[in-house]
Amino acid sequence: MSNDTDWLVGAGLALSAIAATAMLQPRGQTKVTQVPASLPRRAGPHPRASVRAARRLNRAAGLLAVSVLADSSVEHYRGSFKNKAMYTPLAVSALTLAMSAHGTADRRPWAHRLRDGSYLLAAATGLAGTGFHVYNVTKKVGGFSWQNLFYGAPLGAPMAILLSGLLGFCSERVRDTSRAQRPHVFGLPAARTIAAVTAAGLLGTSGEAGLLHFRGAFHNPFMAVPVTLPPIGAALLFNAAARDPDDDQNRAHPLTRAWMWLLAAMGFVGVGFHAYGVSRNMGGWRNWSQNILAGPPLPAPPSFTGLALAGLAALGLMREHPDA
Amino acid sequence: MSDDMSGDPQVTPRASGGRAPDVFRPGGWVPMRSYRDDETVDFVIVGTGAGGGTLACKLAEYGFSVVALDAGPYFRPLEDFASDESEQTKLYWTDDRISDGANPLQLGSNNSGKAVGGSTVHFAMVSLRFRPEWFKSRTLLGYGADWPIDWREMWSYYTEVEQALKISGPITYPWGPKRPRYPYRAHPLNAAARVLARGCEALGISWTETPLATLSAPRGLAHPCVYRGFCVAGCSTNAKQSALVTWIPRALAAGAEIRDLAMVGRIEVDDRDLVTGVHYHRNGGWHFQRARNVVVAGYAIETPRLLLNSATGRHRDGLANSSGLVGRNLMTQSNQAVWGLMDDEIRSYKGPPSLAITEHWNYADKGKDFFGGYAYMSQGPLPQLWANTLAQARGLWGARLVEEMTNYNHVAGLKIVGEMLPQERNRVTLADEVDQYGLRIPRVTYSWCDNDRRLIDHSLAFMTRALQAAGAKDIWTQDDDTCHLNGTARMGDDPRSSVVDADCRSWDIPNLWICDGSVFPTVGGVNPSLTIQAIACRTADRIRAMARRGELTGQRAERTRRAVHATSASA
């Protein structure tokens, strides 16, 4: 193994350790707000609405984790796990998936320490992974060139696990503040923060699809769909996030909700298109063991579904909490 | 399976009875229009490669009746092509020829093809445009001969061909005037290509991904490239955009007839100095196809051979040869290489052989002690070719050859496509011996000139530095190899100094055309296939324009202005 690789493995482990430490950190401060169920109710909607939104966010984070688990498994297997750090996203996304399943089932109105820790770990993995991928692209001859952007480690891919972690973390904050006047994340209104994060995620994921579909020369006209629908969805979400919270008339955002359902469906239909793309390689599905690696990535499109579900959770919370 | 599977495509013609092989479906067929020999077709085309195949397609799509004949078999790439270098020598033209001169050419693998689709069936897919100045190299650069075509016109035909073949190329091309985006993206570089890139970056010159005629994404029924690496032994996946899987299927769909295993031995010319058709050998006998026009597209050896073999009492020196230039100015391209060993595994045979290129010395005019230019590309020799190279260039044999072959996975090389200057003494003539058809075989005479040697020396010295800079060890030079053939029926503005005009129409016989690499006045330092196809597209457009004006049949318009009945295109 080269020195470079050693260094990278070390950096990966260090970042993982930081994330793991964050997971084990006692969180005394939060507990105060967790326990007292008998505190006088403040004005505002029922905390169940917040928990429902939080569980939806867990589900969205979980779906993103599924996408990452499958995608990084296939792609890093294709890369022969040449660097041991390439196992990290598999382990972390599997953990995130388990935690998200737990969160989706959990109806309690407070954050869970393990979930919180694993979501932070996922976010840290996303950041570290982006660093690894940038390093992989720039160290190749030609540096930051189209060739290396097309065929080096995909720069946008680790963002999916980062988004999964962020959404999961936001989910825990929404739960944690479900009894507050308004659910919030780091003091920001939760629903609108999550909508903005999701919108940014949609733009990034769409950019990734754009880059790789450009590599495929948009040879099929449907390849333009994931670079046109999600940016519109992102704009709608940003718009929803920026709306005046006192404007009771416009809290339902029917068009934005419909668009999110459209994107959720697009993510699933995309798998079908990618399956067709696999079939167009030499040998088709009969040669699946090679063509799944050579063809378009089957697990990639559902990340749009995950983000769309997060957008729906944010919109739901927004509808029920005027100032969330 | 289909009934032709038992038959040998090299013995029994496949394109007959109103159908031709469907190259995209195993055992499949496509309908094919068929003409009787005594039906006078608008065009009979001799050869179906980059020149003839392209022209057959374009002319058929323009509504002309076309019969295209090829001496080679009609292969089905999905079924007929093996991952076996020896087996795939069936793609080469290995009929008897005599090669002589001070630097006799090695004929066969990288300068001929005998198949429907011609040598594009096994070409390296490198699809480069000429440097614009080369079309006026005599005027602007002081050597060779000017082309009678403006580079801007060629630029648009290059675009047409690049689109037709879905060329995979870089986003921006570092040299020359702006060109449209390549229709498909460049392929991933293999390790051999990265060696070239590192060398260029170390020496401070540009490099890029080579524009290649192999798919980087699906196209219709053709699969994207699987990086099998057998490109020059015939692509078995149809990723390679050869004439066989691009122009020919289009030609058939547009109503052209393709006749495989049909060797044309003689062009018939009447007392009015017009050609009337061709004599061809097929199914064990000689036949005569009547035609209003004949296009010769047999490449730089077979084209002059056919013209010379068609001599008559009135055309003693062969057809279209009043200038005496038929067969002269044969130009190959220098194909020297520098090889070395890398510490890391290279496995250069993975993927298309020439994924990275630098055209620096095609576009730089300073620092040269020679006329012309060269490109150099990364290499991916298959094992048998590599063993042959070691045996021939370094004299290795026996235990030493076996030992050297153990380094195969670590070999990286750089190889030029270099411009050789036109010389009248380099030529194709007829020998007295005859081949299996009873036709006189060609004698190919070739000698380098001093400029050719200076270019080669410059390239070997530069590539040695580049390979050293990339970290190679045990570097050695392969200083005697050539590729591609051009010239022998050059185009020009003056009937005294050229064989055809800018429209590929012969000066002497107005319904005789030549459309292949033979018409090149100069070869440039790039692989010629894209230019041959661009010329064919241009020729088709010119023929259509002339047909519409009634200038096609009979005499040239400028000689007699009589209204001539146009061919079916205008009907």
ipTM of the complex: 0.91
CB B4 within 8 A of CB B12: yes
**Residue of A282, A291, A292 to mutate, interface with B, max B Cβ within 10 Å:** A282
Q: List chain B domain ranges.
A: 36-570
CB contact under 8 A, A147 and B188: yes
Nearest to B194 among A141, A219, A220 (CB): A141
Instruction: Judge whether A286 is closer than 8 Å to chain B, CB to CB.
Output: no
* Helix A159-176 / helix A190-215 crossing angle, nearest 10 deg: 170
Q: Which residue has the tokens 């964050």?
A: A22
DSSP 8-state symbol, B266: E
Instruction: Kindly list the residues from chain A whose CB atom is less than 8 angstroms away from the CB atom of residue B209.
Output: 147
CA distances from A290 to A54, A151, A281, B366, B451 (A): 40, 17, 9, 48, 49
CB contact residues (below 8 A), chain A span 158-217, against chain B: 214-217
CB contact residues (below 8 A), chain B span 507-526, against chain A: none
Q: Which residue has the tokens 């579904």?
A: A305
pLDDT of A34 > 60? The answer is no
Nearest to A151 among B188, B198, B224 (CB): B188
Please, what CATH class does the domain formed by B36-570 belong to?
A: alpha beta
The bridge status of strand B482-486 relative to strand B331-334 is antiparallel
Report pTM: 0.90
Instruction: Kindly list the residues from chain B whose CB atom is less than 8 angstroms away from the CB atom of residue A219.
Output: 184, 217-219
Instruction: Copy the structure tokens of residue A293.
Output: 């690696």
Report yes or no on A222 lying in a domain: yes
Q: What is the pLDDT of residue B558?
A: 46
Nearest to B223 among A140, A146, A280 (CB): A280
Instruction: Kindly list the residues from chain A whose CB atom is less than 8 angstroms away from the CB atom of residue B237.
Output: 282
Instruction: Judge whether B218 is closer than 8 Å to chain A, CB to CB.
Output: yes
Instruction: Copy the structure tokens of residue B509.
Output: 């016989």
Question: DSSP E strands: which ranges in chain A?
Answer: 184-185, 188-189
Q: What is the pLDDT of residue B554?
A: 55
CB contact under 8 A, A215 and B185: yes
User: By CA distance, what is B238's nearest residue in A?
Assistant: A282
Backbone angles phi, psi at A5, to 5 degrees: -65, -40
DSSP 8-state symbol, B222: B
Report yes or no on A83 lying in a domain: yes
CA distances from B367 to A5, B134, B364, B444, B459 (A): 41, 18, 8, 34, 12
Nearest to A141 among B185, B198, B218 (CB): B198
Q: What is the pLDDT of residue A167?
A: 93
CB B128 within 8 A of CB B87: no
Backbone angles phi, psi at B40, to 5 degrees: -85, 110
Instruction: Judge whether B217 is closer than 8 Å to chain A, CB to CB.
Output: yes
Report yes or no on A18 lying in a domain: no
User: By CA distance, what is B209's nearest residue in A?
Assistant: A147
Instruction: Kindly list the residues from chain B whose CB atom is less than 8 angstroms away from the CB atom of residue A280.
Output: 218, 223-224
Instruction: Copy the structure tokens of residue B292.
Output: 């209003």
Instruction: Judge whether B210 is closer than 8 Å to chain A, CB to CB.
Output: no
CB contact under 8 A, B218 and A280: yes
Instruction: Judge whether B26 is closer than 8 Å to chain A, CB to CB.
Output: no
Overall average pLDDT of the A95-100 stretch: 95
Q: What is the pLDDT of residue A44?
A: 53
Q: What is the pLDDT of residue B252?
A: 98
Instruction: Judge whether A294 is closer than 8 Å to chain B, CB to CB.
Output: yes
Instruction: Judge whether B240 is closer than 8 Å to chain A, CB to CB.
Output: no
Q: What is the pLDDT of residue A50?
A: 84
Q: What is the pLDDT of residue A169?
A: 93
Half-sphere exposure of A69 (CA within 13 A, CB side): 14
- Share above pLDDT 70 across residues of chain B, in percent, rounded to a whole number: 96
Q: What is the pLDDT of residue A249?
A: 66
Cα B229 to its chain centre, rounded Å, is 20
Q: What is the pLDDT of residue B111?
A: 85
CA B195 to chain A, closest CA, distance in angstroms equals: 9
Q: What is the pLDDT of residue A237?
A: 96
Nearest to A219 among B198, B201, B217 (CB): B217
Structural domains counted in chain A: 1
pLDDT higher at A70 or A183: A70
User: By CA distance, what is A215's nearest residue in B?
Assistant: B185
Nearest to B197 among A142, A146, A216 (CB): A142
* Alpha carbon distance B443, B328 (integer Å): 12
CB contact under 8 A, A280 and B216: no
CB contact under 8 A, B216 and A217: yes
Cα A184 to its chain centre, rounded Å, is 19
Report yes or no on A21 lying in a domain: no
Instruction: Judge whether A151 is closer than 8 Å to chain B, CB to CB.
Output: yes
Nearest to B217 among A147, A151, A216 (CB): A216
User: By CA distance, what is A276's nearest residue in B?
Assistant: B218
Instruction: Kindly list the residues from chain A whose CB atom is less than 8 angstroms away from the CB atom of residue B166.
Output: 217
CB A174 within 8 A of CB A111: no
Please state, as a whole number, how many other Cβ atoms lie within 10 Å of the Cβ of residue A283: 15
CB contact under 8 A, A217 and B186: no
Which helix (H) or strand (E) element contains residue B416? strand B411-418
Nearest to A281 among B188, B194, B223 (CB): B223
Q: Give the range of the structural domain holding residue A230, as residue numbers without chain letter.
A: 3-7+46-320
CB contact under 8 A, B198 and A146: no
CB B109 within 8 A of CB B92: yes
* Helix A113-139 / helix A88-105 crossing angle, nearest 10 deg: 150
* Helix B151-164 / helix B529-548 crossing angle, nearest 10 deg: 110
CB B229 within 8 A of CB B235: no
Amino acid at B157: Y
CB contact under 8 A, B183 and A217: yes
Which residues of chain B fall below pLDDT 70?
A: 1-6, 554-571
pLDDT of A40 > 60? The answer is no
Instruction: Kindly list the residues from chain B whose CB atom is less than 8 angstroms away from the CB atom of residue A216.
Output: 185, 216-217
Instruction: Copy the structure tokens of residue A268.
Output: 């699933």
pLDDT of A36 > 60? The answer is no
Instruction: Judge whether A47 is closer than 8 Å to chain B, CB to CB.
Output: no
Instruction: Kindly list the residues from chain B whose CB atom is less than 8 angstroms away from the CB atom of residue A282.
Output: 223-224, 226, 237, 239
Angle at CA of residue B393, ends B392 and B395, nearest 5°: 65
Q: Among the listed ranges A18-32, A307-321, B248-262, B482-496, which one has the minimum average pLDDT value? A: A18-32
pLDDT of A244 > 90? The answer is no
pLDDT of A302 > 70? The answer is yes
Instruction: Judge whether B183 is closer than 8 Å to chain A, CB to CB.
Output: yes
